[in-house]
Structures are given as structure tokens and as C-alpha cells.
């Protein structure tokens, strides 16, 4: 190890890094934290993952060198994100008490998401520890591409992100889209921004898992010839699954038959009505029998689904980077996604998928139908998609983080 960083804390107050992606508030950030922690541990750094306890506070070793510590704050049970903002002080006090006992002693605090930063920046200042902030998503980016009926992010979040970006010793960002928003919207100091894209587990997400395609398709009740489309995301307006359903209907109109659209993920707290809207749209468009809800999947199950699919759709209104795009590409499955998001870096347009300039369901449907009608092109995209994903590794991301941490070593 080339740095004096022996033990660090990564803080994820609002969602546990061990939580299953696609459920609650768990998604790509959870995957990133756990994979980065494992890669840092492989380099000799002890990593503690600090999160708010939903049940009884626990301390669990998740991996050699990686310990999850859940801390009591705000009572037991899940809280909506707007409620979590009210318990940041209490969570920060719990972190301070943990560190104040003398063991463990951290060399650096790395907060993930604005709530974690708000809670633990005071702890870092009090203890004189280097403080790193990762936002993962920004309120300004979300508000600029707000889904119909979605709730805008409140001024408290916007002001907090500005404050944290100026107070942190460094801000880790995943894409140039996030850099642009941080500079233009948040007015963050450009010299504190470190661009470190996430990686992907290319052993887990691999075309070799396609050997299980027949089993996956049998579980979904479809034959080997029927096209399979996947959307893997929490079910909420921001993720735009309604566009995928409308595009499915357009594909059916063009081809005379519909692929099966699998929605992998569960509604976030308060988004249950959006799920009902999705089902109503599918019924009105005559594709209710062509949409399958499979809930949140464990990573191996998701890898099997990607490898079995023909295309992955990412119709989100906003993505800071889009880890799912890499996971799908690594599986040899091309992506169709929105150009006006961070997907411009996770998707190589024309190589690992196709980026769409609009949210017009007819355009999306035409692109999807065109790819399904051109098997040679689809196969070529799958091959180049895998090659694209192989350029993103967690080991590389962890090495970049180590360089950042080393520059802050006091």
C-alpha cells in the first residue's frame, strides 16, 4: 500500500450497501460501494461501510477487510428520503460516538449521497479528517429532466449539495455530465472534482451465462424465438418505465407481435401509484400480457437475465452514469437508452448500444424493432458491447480512489 490510509469509512446513510439492488432505494450506488470496498480491501485498506440501521444495529463482516456497521438513528423501520433529512444530525452523532470510542479510528471519511455528507461532514471537521464526497445523483440534474407527476427536489437538497461541494476536500464524480452539472448548477470548485467512473464485474456479467437462457426463458414462460427486452431499475417516475411500455406497443404494431418486456425492480416507497399507472398504460395499449414484473433480482439472477435478453432498455429521465448499461454490455446485450443523460459515457453509441435523442415512443419502438429485425447487427452490437464493458473495472476505479486518498493523506 502506497498511502498512509489504513482504514476508511464509506458512509451511505439512506441505503445499506448490502441491500439488494432494485428494492427500496437500492440501486447502482449500492453495487458501486460494495465493489469499491472489496477492491480497496484487496489493496490493504480496511473499509467500514456505515449506514442507518432499519432494524437492530449490527456489525457484520461482508468480505475480508470490509465491515458493515449499521447505526441507530431516527428510530426503527424504513423512512422516506424526505424523512431521512430530518435525522442526519442524529446519524452524525452516532458516527461521532462510534469514532469517539477510539476503535475503529479512521484515516478518512467518504460520504455517498448528500444525506451522508450532511450527516458526517461535521464529524470530519471536528476530528480533522480528510472528507470526500460522492453525490451519485444531483438534485439539479433530476429537476432539469423531471418526469411528469414526479416531485421536484427541495431547496434543502440543492443548497446542501452546493455547501458540501465547497466544504469537501474532494468530490468524486462518475461522468462528464455530472461534472458539468456540478460546475454549472452547483458551482462546485472545479479543482476539487475527481472523475472516477464505476466498473463492472465482467466475470459475473458475461455472455457465458447465456447457456442458462433456455432455463431463464422457461421461467418466464416464453419460447426461444420470442424477443426478450429488459428494464432493470427501481420502479419510479425517474426511471421512465412508462416509455418502455409505450415503445413495446410500438414494436408490436410494427412487427405484428410483441417481445416480452421484463421489468426487474420494485417500487420505491411512495411510488406504488406509478406501478399502477404502468399497468394501466399496458392495458390501454393492449400489451398487458407482454409485460412481466419479476421484482428485484439478486446479482447472479440479473446477470442471467441480461445474458438471456436481446436488448436492455434504459428510458430514465436522468442517469448520472448508468451502471446497468455496463452490466448489460458485459453480458453481451446491447442497450437502447436516452442520449441526454450520463449514458453518453456508459453507452458507446453504435458499439455497445444505441442512444436516442428523444422520448418519443415511436422513435424508440422503431429503433428496437429495427434491431430485432436485423439479427446480424444485433449480434455484432453484442460482441462490441462486451469489448466496451471490459474497459471498465472495479480494480481501476479503486486504484484511482487510492490515488485520491493518498493526495489527501495528512
Q: Is the pLDDT of residue 148 over 90?
A: no
DSSP designation for 287: -
Count of domains observed in the chain: 2
In a domain, 172, yes or no: yes
182: domain CATH number is 3.40.50.2000
In a domain, 1, yes or no: no
Q: Give me the phi and psi of 165, to 5 degrees please.
A: -65, -25
In a domain, 2, yes or no: no
What's the pLDDT tens digit per position in 349-400? 999 999 999 999 999 999 999 999 999 999 999 999 999 999 999 999 999 9
Residues 315 and 348 in one domain: yes
Instruction: Cell numbers for 121, please give them.
Output: 461532514
Q: What is the mean pLDDT of residues 226-240?
A: 95
Q: What angle do CA 120, 122, 125 make, to 5 degrees?
A: 115
Residues 213 and 188 in one domain: no
**What is the rounded CA–CA span in Å between residue 94 and residue 362?**
51
Q: What is the mean pLDDT of residues 260-288?
A: 92
Residues 58 and 112 in one domain: yes
List, in sequence order, the alpha helices (H) in 258-360.
272-284, 299-308, 323-330, 343-346
In a domain, 57, yes or no: yes
What's the pLDDT tens digit per position in 312-343? 999 999 888 889 999 999 999 999 999 877 89
39 with 394: CB under 8 angstroms?
yes
Q: Name the 3-class secondary structure at 369.
A: helix
Which carries the bigger pLDDT value, residue 55 or residue 201?
201
Q: Give me the phi and psi of 232, to 5 degrees please.
A: -115, 105
Residues 151 and 176 in one domain: yes
In a domain, 49, yes or no: yes
331: left (phi over 0), alpha (psi -120 to 50) or beta: alpha
Residues 136 and 275 in one domain: no
Residue 286: pLDDT band with limits 50, 70, 90:
very high
Residues 133 and 65 in one domain: yes
Task: Please give the residue range of the domain that contains residue 379.
Answer: 207-389
Q: Name the 3-class secondary structure at 360.
A: coil
Instruction: Quote the pLDDT of residue 1.
Output: 40
Instruction: Quote the pLDDT of residue 55.
Output: 87
96 with 374: CB under 8 angstroms?
no
**What is the rounded CA–CA span in Å between residue 248 and residue 251?**
5
Q: What is the mean pLDDT of residues 297-310?
A: 95
Instruction: Quote the pLDDT of residue 278.
Output: 96
Beta bridge partners of 50: 11, 69
Instruction: Quote the pLDDT of residue 147.
Output: 79
E strands along 183-283, which residues?
193-195, 228-232, 260-264
Residues 176 and 221 in one domain: no
Q: Is the pLDDT of residue 228 over 90?
A: yes
Residue 24: pLDDT band with limits 50, 70, 90:
low
Q: Is the pLDDT of residue 3 over 60?
A: no
Q: Is the pLDDT of residue 174 over 70?
A: yes
**What is the rounded CA–CA span in Å between residue 323 and residue 330?**
11
Amino acid at each position: 500500500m502506497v498511502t498512509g490510509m489504513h482504514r476508511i469509512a464509506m458512509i451511505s446513510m439512506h441505503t445499506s450497501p448490502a441491500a439488494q439492488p432494485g428494492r427500496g432505494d437500492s440501486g447502482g450506488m449500492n453495487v458501486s460501494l460494495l465493489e469499491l470496498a472489496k477492491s480497496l480491501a484487496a489493496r490493504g485498506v480496511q473499509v467500514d461501510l456505515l449506514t442507518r440501521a432499519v432494524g437492530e444495529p449490527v456489525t457484520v463482516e461482508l468480505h475480508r477487510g470490509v465491515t458493515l456497521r449499521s447505526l441507530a438513528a431516527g428510530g426503527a423501520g424504513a423512512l422516506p428520503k424526505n424523512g431521512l433529512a430530518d435525522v442526519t444530525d442524529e446519524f452524525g452523532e452516532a458516527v461521532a460516538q462510534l469514532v469517539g470510542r477510539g476503535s475503529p479510528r479512521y484515516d478518512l471519511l467518504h460520504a455517498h449521497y448528500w444525506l451522508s455528507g450532511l450527516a458526517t461532514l461535521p464529524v470530519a471537521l471536528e476530528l480533522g479528517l480528510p472528507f470526500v464526497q460522492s453525490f451519485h445523483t444531483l438534485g439539479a440534474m433530476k429537476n432539469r429532466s423531471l418526469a411528469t407527476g414526479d416531485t421536484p427536489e427541495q431547496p434543502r437538497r440543492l443548497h446542501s449539495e452546493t455547501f458540501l461541494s465547497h466544504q469537501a476536500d474532494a468530490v468524486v464524480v462518475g461522468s462528464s455530465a455530472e461534472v458539468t452539472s456540478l460546475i454549472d448548477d452547483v458551482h462546485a470548485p472545479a479543482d476539487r472534482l475527481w472523475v472516477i467512473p464505476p466498473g463492472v464485474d465482467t466475470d459475473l456479467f458475461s455472455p457465458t451465462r447465456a447457456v442458462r437462457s433456455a432455463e431463464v426463458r422457461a421461467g418466464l414462460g416464453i419460447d426461444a424465438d420470442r424477443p426478450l427486452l429488459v428494464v432493470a431499475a427501481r420502479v419510479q417516475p425517474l426511471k421512465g418505465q412508462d416509455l418502455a411500455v409505450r415503445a413495446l406497443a410500438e414494436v408490436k404494431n410494427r412487427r405484428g407481435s410483441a417481445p416480452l418486456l421484463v421489468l426487474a425492480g420494485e417500487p420505491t416507497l411512495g411510488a406504488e401509484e406509478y406501478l399502477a399507472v404502468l399497468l394501466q398504460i399496458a392495458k390501454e395499449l393492449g400489451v398487458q400480457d407482454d409485460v412481466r414484473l419479476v421484482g428485484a433480482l439478486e446479482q447472479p439472477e440479473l446477470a442471467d437475465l441480461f445474458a438471456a435478453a436481446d436488448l436492455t432498455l434504459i428510458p430514465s429521465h436522468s442517469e448520472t452514469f448508468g451502471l446497468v448499461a455496463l452490466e448489460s454490455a458485459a453480458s453481451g446485450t446491447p442497450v437502447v437508452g436516452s442520449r441526454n443523460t450520463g449514458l453518453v459515457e456508459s453507452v458507446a453509441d453504435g458499439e455497445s448500444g444505441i442512444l436516442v435523442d428523444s422520448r418519443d415512443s415511436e422513435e424508440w419502438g422503431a429503433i428496437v424493432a429495427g434491431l430485432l429485425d436485423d439479427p446480424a447487427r444485433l449480434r455484432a452490437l453484442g460482441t462490441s458491447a462486451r469489448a466496451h464493458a471490459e474497459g471498465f473495472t472495479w480494480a481501476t476505479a479503486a486504484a484511482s480512489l487510492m490515488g485520491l486518498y493518498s493526495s489527501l493523506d495528512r
